[in-house]
Amino acid sequence: MKKNVQRHSDIEKLAKNLKFYRQKAGISQIELCIQINVTEEYVSKIERGIRTPSLKRLFKIAEVLNIEPYLLLK
């Protein structure tokens, strides 16, 4: 059970950090989805903790936001 709780916590961190850094960069969800070639729904689901991106997609998101990838998981 503890492992599942930790995973949920990690997903919440990713969701919160993505939204924070996206807004800090002044990028809308639509702009981000265009730059990483996904739907707006996909980005929205990540920010709500419903979906998790692949490692490749995580790196692309970080590149677009001009941040180090680890900041999305911190």
On whether the pTM is more than 0.75, the answer is yes
**pLDDT at residue 5, as a whole number:** 65
pLDDT score of 33:
97
Specify the pLDDT at position 4.
Answer: 65
Torsion of CA 53, 40, 11, 50, to 10 degrees: -110
pLDDT for 46-68, tens place per residue?
A: 999 999 999 999 999 999 999 99
pLDDT digits (tens, 9 = 90+) for 1-46: 566 666 779 999 999 999 999 999 999 999 999 999 999 999 999 9
Residue 17 near residue 74 (C-beta atoms within 8 A): yes
How far is Cα 24 from Cα 31, in angstroms, rounded to an integer?
14
